[in-house]
Amino acid sequence: MASSKSDVIDFSALEKDLRAGVESELKYRRENDAKLRAVRQGVPSYQHFRDLVLTCHLTPLDKNDKNRRKRAPWNPVVAPGDNNGNTPDPE
């Protein structure tokens, strides 16, 4: 029995396909639930309805999330430790 290329199963492609299908199904259900909730709430306009559906993937913040501070510079162009406000000269 000779094995041909058509007999070989590409498991990585199959897994990728499965993950995409599962994600698509989760997105559909999440959006459908948001639509049903919006209709039950009696949203005032289509724009409000659309905004609720488009943002259904967002999750609310925890109590701990609002107290976290990110250590990001306000101006990333200024070199760290440059307190006089001078920016580095472009060369």
For 89, how many CA atoms within 13 A lie in the half-sphere containing its CB?
Answer: 1
Q: Do the domain assignments include residue 26?
A: yes
Dihedral Cα 31, 23, 25, 44, nearest 10 deg: 0
- What's the structural domain count of the chain? 1
Q: Do the domain assignments include residue 15?
A: yes
| Residue 4 region by backbone torsions, left for phi larger than 0, else alpha for psi between -120 and 50, else beta | beta
Q: Do the domain assignments include residue 49?
A: yes
Tell me the residue range of the domain where 48 lies: 11-57
Q: How far apart are CA 18 and CA 9, in angstroms?
A: 14
Backbone angles phi, psi at 22, to 5 degrees: -65, -45
Q: State the pTM of this model.
A: 0.56
Segment 19-36, tens digit of pLDDT: 999 999 999 999 999 999
Q: How confident is the model at residue 37 (pLDDT cuts 50, 70, 90)?
A: very high
